[in-house]
Structure 1
Amino acid sequence: MAGKTLQEWIAEAKDHALKARAIAKKCEDEGRDFTPDESAEIREHMGKAVAARAEIEKLKGNDELRKTLAELGDDIALDAKTDADGTRRTASGFQLPSRQKTIGQEFIETPEYKALMGQATDGRFGAKQRVQSGLAGFKSLVTGASDTSAGAFVVPDQLGLQVGLDAFKRPLRLRDLVTPGTTTSDSIEYVRMTSVTNNAAPVAEATSAANPTAPGGAGALVNNAGGGYKPESGLAAVKINTTVKTLAHWMPLTKRAISDAAQVVTLIDAFLRYGLEEELEDQMVQGDGTGENFEGIANVSGVQAQAFDTDIFTTVRKAKTKVRLVGRSMANGVLLNPLDLEEIDLKQDNEARYYFGGPGGVGTAQTLWGMPVIETESVPAGTAYVGDWRKAILWDRQQATIQMTDSHMDFFVRNLVVILAEMRAAFGVIQPNAFVEVDLAA
């Protein structure tokens, strides 16, 4: 092994890497994972490639040392000679710096430098004095415009991402309205209230000891006269089972991008995490309850409906009343599509005055009939949702996490990694009639 040349080690490393990649590509083309034998063979080839690379680095290091020595003179240490004036030179005539002086000191003591300074009689150059140097050794101009000169050291300013990813994000606020919860199980069972019957009423004291079975029943006293019977109320509820859903997405990245640009990791982290939250909001509103989808508010049985009436303002106000009277709740938010919110902002009275201040105002309606306005693209244009969002619960099973691995397909041998973002949660509406789906279209 020690007798191989640099080119032989390079060929051997390349051969083993190609064999490992060929096995990985075969499995990828066939759409299957590695067999145990294939995994062992890949590890063997990769191990030999790594060993060969180590030998390459050793030989490259030796070659670089030899090249440096050749540039400085092969005989620096052994055959250095000293001229009559004390100048040390190699056998090939290369001048060596003095052991007692720095390079700067050697420079200012050269005859060329002294001749240059001789042009300044008082030690200073005049404003219009032309300066010429007889310094030898300038073979080419050092310039920042050439990659083979000083330009190789000129690095462009790396300003990074100036606007961040906000340009691709939308505000997400629905999570702040609903009731937060946590769970340690993959299945959740809760009670959903469907109706309430309240027959509470004043009851007179019994004036008879007669024994009817109930008011109005066989042998009962007419109109509960003298009976002292209390009215019966009731609740209608249904047991709901929901499972924790997994939201996830991933993206590939090269190892070089990760190691050379730490900012990339931060951007991916922010982008992937945000993507989960955006999908979560969409699911809470529009999830159809099939497969791995949430049962969103738009598809929950028992949610009230409000048809369009006169204009947007009247329609939304009537929906708020339904939440109060039918749902016996206090509406604490209205979800609007940006297009519908724009229509509201542009509404004018009979004197062409904007209801919400117009261009000189706050810019958009912050509240509508006392309810905070939540602008979200999860709601389709022409529809709004008014409700008591405390009657909806979001259970967090696993907060958003970021994981990275190179074990996906043949990413290990291609220097690629997968960055995966994942979260687990469940959503439920415990009182559907506390919400109203509003039709904003005339």
Structure 2
Amino acid sequence: MNRQETLKALVAEAENLEKKGTNLTEKEISRAEEISRQIQQLKTAMSSAKKTAATLRAATHNEGETSTMLEGKFTIGEKFVKSDEVRGFREDHPHGFESKNGVVNFAVKDVASGQRVLKADPLNTGIPGASRPEYVEGIDDLTYRKPRTILDLIYQGTTNSPWLQYRQLRAVTNNASITGEAKTTTGTDAKGGLKPLSTLTTATADAKAFTYADGLEITNQELSDDGALVGIIDGELEANLLDVIEKTLINGSGSADEPAGILHTTGVLNQAFDTDIATTLRKAKTLLSTTSGTTPQAVVMNPEDNEALDLLQDKNGRYLGAGPFASGDPTVWSIPRLESSYLEKGTAIIGDFSVIQLLVYEALNIAVFNQHKDYAQRNLSYIRAEMRALQMIRKPAQLCVAKLAQG
């Protein structure tokens, strides 16, 4: 038996002796004193071993790494399994959770800036290693996404507030002009020396932090295996959270349960279908330029609409675009094309997506629990990824929803 198992057995024996109260025999009294001495020795040895292990881990880190979490180009899952919390838990619980109240909790920095320092009190679970790190420093590129999605286009940062009121810029009337010198005090236009005045149409909007979360049941064997945990966190949980964020940015209803996405935000421009997909998108590009002076950053389309655009041919069967052997990112009217399955077929969004802000209020957190009525019996645990963030669409008029089909 290892130290943890020995300690557990001694505690159980001590509890049995304690139940006898004043009816202990001389031999049992002597044994109780020996158990007390052994428990104290084990606790001292385990504490010393943990400190030594922490010192060794710190010594083996590369220069610039903290003992709380390794820096560098690691994924969320890799950072989780390399954390002191998980390592310490495994040292104390080599066979997985041994109580009904176990938890490993690991908090990391903001998705985008890497600047916010999160501090949290240790979790009162009574299990060694069950605490959040007090700080994490020097972490770059917290999330690793598939390239070229709508999430790569928006602004991502942090916020200290769970709720904000902000001003949306919905329209701009540019009245700039060359002005003459004022010759009198009665001039009524630019030639008479009256300086022009541009106008802004704004509105107050609310931004509230919503919780994005997902979880999976895992076995104790998966919990004890680094590769399995990394695959679950990076391959499933993180990907699922990014998907629901993308879906909400596009389709959020603006109800009490979710923020307003692009399709439900007042002030976003609309372009009706005109002739075909290519013509409609060109009209939308012009609408953005004339209405808000926007140069489109990208156009996001449903995969089927994107396919239809790729397959456009002339009367001789030649592709109008670059064809199947093109290299580089596809474009339409020199605007990069991206896909999102969360846009319904026949709808595209074109514009400057940097006017959308996703601000993280509580950074992505990975936690493992086994507080379930029969998880301990089944050697199962629940692993959860969770974050809180609010989204704002600062300048709706720099985005346009284009209908790519009749009706």
Q: TM-score range by the shorter chain?
A: 0.5 to 0.7
Distance 1:346-1:237 versus aligned 2 partners, 3 A rule: same
TM-score (norm 2): 0.60
From 302, 312, 317, the counterpart of 2:282: 317
Contact 2:190 2:196 (8 Å CA) reproduced: no
1:387 to 329, 351, 363: 351
Matches within 5 A, 1:221-240: 228-240=193-205
For 2:286 and 2:198, how far apart are their aligned partners in 1? 24
Q: How does 1:299-318 map to 2 (within 5 A)?
A: 299-318=264-283
With normalisation by structure 1, the TM-score equals 0.55
Q: Give the residue type in structure 2 aligned to 1:252.
A: E
Superposition deviation, residue 246 in structure 1? 0.8
Listed one character per residue, the Cα deviations across residues 250-278 of structure 1 (whole Å, up to 9, x for unaligned) are: 1222324433x543222211211111011
In structure 2, the CA distance between the partners of 1:409 and 1:330, relative to structure 1 (3 Å rule), is farther
Change (3 A) 1:394 1:257: closer
Question: Are 2:332 and 1:368 equivalent residues in the alignment?
Answer: yes
Q: Distance in 2 between matches of 1:332 and 1:172?
A: 12
Aligned with residue 248 of structure 1, among 213, 216, 230: 213
What secondary structure, in the 3-state scheme, does the structure 2 residue paired with 1:200 have?
coil
Indicate if the aligned counterparts of 2:250 and 2:263 stay in contact, CA closer than 8 A.
yes
**Greater relative contact order (CA < 8 Å, ≥ 6 in sequence):** 2
User: Which residue does 1:347 correspond to in 2?
Assistant: 312
Shift of 1:388: 0.8
Aligned residues of 1:175 and 1:281 also touching (Cα < 8 A):
yes
Residue 150 of structure 1: aligned partner = none
Amino acid at match of 1:280: I
Distance 1:232 1:352, change over 3 A: same
Equivalent position of 1:186 in the other structure: 162
Distance in 1, Cα, partners of 2:172 & 2:281? 24
Structure with bigger gyration radius: 1
CA gap of 1:226–1:279, structure 2 versus 1, over 3 A, is closer
1:199–1:233 CA contact under 8 A, matched in 2: yes
C-alpha deviation, 1:234, in angstroms: 2.1
Counting only pairs closer than 5 Å after superposition, residues 121-270 of structure 1 correspond to structure 2 as 173-208=149-184, 215=188, 228-259=193-224, 261-270=225-234
State the 1:328 CA deviation: 1.2
Letter in 1 for 2:183: T
Over residues 142-195 of structure 1, what are the superposed CA-to-partner deviations in whole Å (9 max), with x where a residue is unaligned? Answer: xxxxxxxxxxxxxxxxxxxxxxxxxxx986611111122211221233221122
Percent of matched pairs sharing the same residue: 33
Q: Deviations over 1:109-138 (max 9, x none)?
A: xxxxxxxxxxxxxxxxxxxxxxxxxxxxxx
Q: Give the Cα separation in 2 of the matches to 1:281 and 1:174.
A: 7
Partner of 1:295: 260
Structure 1, unmatched stretches of 5+, are 1-42, 52-168, 216-223
Do the aligned residues in 2 keep the contact of 1:172 with 1:376 (CA within 8 Å)? no
Tell me, in whole angstroms, the C-alpha distance in 2 between the residues paired with 1:333 and 1:227: 43
Change (3 A) 1:357 1:246: same
Aligned partner of residue 200 in structure 2, secondary structure = strand
- Is 1:335 the equivalent of 2:300? yes
Distance 1:325 1:258 in 2: 56
Two-structure CA RMSD over aligned residues (Å)? 3.0
Report if the CA contact (8 A) 2:362-2:387 is conserved.
yes
Matches of 2:193 and 2:223, distance apart in 1: 80
Shift of residue 413, structure 1, vs aligned partner: 5.0
Further displaced range: 379-388 or 399-408: 399-408
Contact 1:273 1:400 in 2 (8 A): no
**1:274 matched residue in structure 2:** 239
Q: How many residues align?
A: 269
Deviations 1:302-355 (A, max 9, x none): 111111111111110111111111021110100011101111111101221012
Structure 1 residues 186 and 226, CA, compared in 2 at 3 Å: closer, same or farther? closer
1:11 aligns with none
